[in-house]
Amino acid sequence: MIGDQFNRMAETEGRDECGGPARPLSPERVFASTADPLGAAFPARGGTHMPTVQAPPLAEPEAAYRQALVDPSPGKRSAYLHIPFCANHCLFCGFYRNPADPAVLHDYAGHLMRDVERDGAVLAGQGPVHAVYFGGGTPSALSADDLFALVEAVRAALPLAPDCEITLEGRIAGFTTDKVEACLEAGVNRFSIGIQTFDTGLRRRLGRKASREEAEAFLRSLRDRDRAAVVCDLMFGLPGQTMEMWRRDVATCVALGIDGVDLYGLSLFSKGPLAASIAKGALPPPPALGEMAGMYARGLEILEDAGWRHLTQAHWARTTRERTLYNQFARSGADCLPFGAGAGGMLGGRRIMLDSDRLSYCRRISAGQKPIAAMLPASPTHRIRSWVAAGLETGHLDLDEGERMAGPRLRAALDPLVDQWARAGLIRRRGAAIQPLTAGWFWLGNLTAGLLQVTLDHLGREAGSPRHEGDHHVH
Ligand code: SF4
């Protein structure tokens, strides 16, 4: 699935946070082209992820992790559980790890529960966890009994808030009625279903088994239970996808009346099976960047015409049931407890990556360890990075708040950039805040990186050095 982009990036690239430059950006990557702001504001589209701070991982990470667990940071806290198993490798996906063998999955679920219960014993009496996310991979590949036991173990072991958002990612194939019921009985209150496209022909070419009719019927059956938020992922920029196919996909979500939808642009993994199929000529090349921008804008227009609320760059809600809390917390650099092979987390600004080899993960759990692959020190600019990333991601970056963190001259330092983006039609000023417009939403990763660069350069100048002390970037 692609719903949890934050954890996907963490697993595949060891990166954290959201949207900063790996190296100082050239002016044309910071200032926008005004000729065609939607289709060509910048030479390439930046992702909404941020490189890690370049620093050696912490020595003795398990001890550092245990210490961080008993010393929670202020703010919201979430938990992420990774289920890195899939029935098949979807062509477009760079996150496939392990085949979904039932016996292996059952064994893995037992180790995952031990991981949660062990940390939960330390967390007893602490402030609440506001969002839990079961991602993958395909969590719905677990058996009904394992799904029930795992969700129940999380609810028993972790100090969940009474209104905790508990999301489970799933795909239609194999998500049987008994599994859905087991999830609901155990307390899942949000389903995130990977649809990508409803178009049957395109689905089959991408490795998705269910037809349009089956996909729609599945979402209707979840919706009609009326016991949990139902959201789905759609992708634009797929090979062979036309604007009409995309319009129909978004309109289908509106017609289905589910609670929310996520619109993601295709990321073509250069070593992935989709890139190989395109290179062989088995599939057409994906739409060009300008066409993708048009698709994003059309999707936004359809949803807003239908009265859906725009929550973050990729998320829209029709009902108040959809909150997308986990994704918002992840982008704001809040604490996130990681569980499972390859899971990524964050405690006090320190990025944590767990062992991504499932056998090694299970061995280390059996040996009583927290299977940490690496834990990175907190960036000295973690708060300011989180302010930029979270503000833009939720569509309202309050510059007064930035000045409270970075000093009274920050707004003046940002003015030339902000004014240029406003002239280019990427953003608008609203009081002391800036808000992305449609083109700005599409190029949000670039805005985040550019704004962060100017902010960090300003901090560096204020501190008397070209870059803020201790804040280095990975190339
Ligand atoms: S189910 Fe498909 S899209 Fe989801 S993680 Fe597995 S391979 Fe990727």
pLDDT one-digit tens code per residue, 287-322: 999 999 999 999 999 999 999 999 999 999 999 999
CB-based pocket (< 6 A), ligand 1:
1, 86, 89-90, 93, 95-96, 136-138, 171, 194
Instruction: Please give the distance, rounded to the nearest whole angstrom, from the Cα atom of residue 442 to the centre of ligand 1.
Output: 24
Residue 92 CA, closest ligand 1 atom number = 3
- The residue nearest atom 2 of ligand 1, judged by CA position, is 90
Looking at residue 51, what is its pLDDT? 47
Average pLDDT over residues 196-224: 95
Let me know if 416 is exposed, middle or buried by CB neighbors in 10 A (0-12, 13-18, 19+).
exposed
Ligand 1 atom nearest residue 96's Cα: 7
Q: Which 8-state DSSP code applies to residue 141?
A: G
| Average pLDDT score over residue span 279-283 | 91
Q: Cα torsion at 413, 416, 419, 420 (round to 10°)?
A: -140
Ligand 1 atom closest to Cα of 89? Answer: 7
Q: What angle do CA 15, 17, 18 make, to 5 degrees?
A: 105
157 has a pLDDT exceeding 60: yes
Nearest atom of ligand 1 to the alpha carbon of 87: 1
> Residue 314: what pLDDT?
97
Q: How many CB atoms lie within 10 A of CB 201?
A: 12
Cα 389 to Cα 447: distance, rounded to the nearest angstrom: 9
Name the more confident of 89 and 392. 392
Which residue out of 82, 88, 93 has the highest number of ligand 1 atoms within 8 Å of its CB and is therefore the one to mutate?
A: 93
Taking a C-beta distance cutoff of 8 angstroms, is the pair 318, 259 a contact? yes
Question: Quick check: 19 pLDDT over 50?
Answer: no
So what's the pLDDT on residue 272? 84
Of the candidates 324, 296, 196, the residue with the CA atom closest to the CA atom of residue 253? 196
Q: How far apart are the first and last CA of the chain?
A: 27
Distance 48 CA to ligand 1 centre (A): 20
- Residue 180: strand, helix, or coil: helix
d(CA 54, CA 474): 5
For a pLDDT cut of 70, what percent of the chain falls above it?
Answer: 91
Mutate to test the pocket of ligand 1, among 86, 193, 233 (most ligand atoms within 8 A of CB): 86
Average pLDDT over residues 19-44: 80
pLDDT recorded at residue 2: 52
The residue whose C-alpha atom lies closest to atom 3 belonging to ligand 1 is: 1
Nearest to 174 by CA among 137, 228, 201: 137
Q: What is the mean pLDDT of the chain?
A: 90
Work out the number of other CB atoms within 10 angstroms of the CB of residue 30.
20
Could you identify the atom of ligand 1 that is nearest to the CA of residue 94?
8
Atom of ligand 1 lying closest to residue 138 CA: 1
Q: What is the pLDDT of residue 53?
A: 57
pLDDT value, residue 317: 98
The predicted model gives 339-343 an average pLDDT of 98
Domains of the chain: 5-16+52-331 (3.80.30.20), 17-51+380-468 (no CATH)
The best mutation among 90, 105, 195, 233 to test binding of ligand 1, ranked by most ligand atoms within 8 Å of the C-beta, falls on 90
pLDDT of residue 133: 98
Average pLDDT over residues 42-71: 82
Ligand 1 probe mutation, 4, 89, 134, most atoms within 8 A of CB: 89
Indicate whether this model's pTM tops 0.85: yes
From 4, 92, 96, give the residue whose CB has the most ligand 1 atoms within 8 Å, as the site to mutate: 96
Which helix (H) or strand (E) segment holds residue 133: the answer is strand 129-136
Rounded to an integer, the average pLDDT of 195-204 is 96
Token pair listed for 424: 């280019």
Choose among 53, 116, 102, 43: nearest CA to 333: 53
For atom 8 of ligand 1, which residue has the closest CA? 93
Question: pLDDT of 1-18, one tens digit each?
Answer: 555 544 544 433 333 333
95 Cα–ligand 1 center, Å:
6
pLDDT tens for 430-452 read: 999 999 999 999 999 999 999 99
Residue 196 CA: which ligand 1 atom is closest?
3
pLDDT at 104 over 90: yes
pLDDT of res. 470:
39
Q: How far is the CA of 99 from the centre of ligand 1 (A)?
A: 11
CA of 220 to the centre of ligand 1 (A): 22
Query: What is the per-residue pLDDT for 340?
Result: 98
- Report the pLDDT value the prediction gives residue 3, as an integer from 0 to 100: 53
Of ligand 1's listed atoms, the one at least distance from the Cα of 86 is 6
In this structure, how many other beta carbons lie within 10 angstroms of the beta carbon of residue 228? 21
> What's the whole-number mean pLDDT along residues 109-133?
95
Tell me the H-state helices in 306-381.
325-331, 358-366
Using the mean position of ligand 1's atoms as its centre, give its distance from the Cα of residue 296 in Å. Answer: 22
Residue holding tokens 């350069």? 457
pLDDT computed for residue 5 by the predictor? 47
Instruction: Name which residue sits closest to atom 4 of ligand 1, judged by CA.
Output: 1
- Ramachandran quadrant class, 240 (left: phi over 0; alpha: psi -120 to 50; beta: rest): left
Q: 160 pLDDT exceeds 60?
A: yes
Residue 412: how many other CB atoms lie within 10 Å: 10
Asked if the model's pLDDT at residue 469 lies above 90, the reply is no
27, pLDDT greater than 80: no
Confidence check: pLDDT of 86 > 70: yes
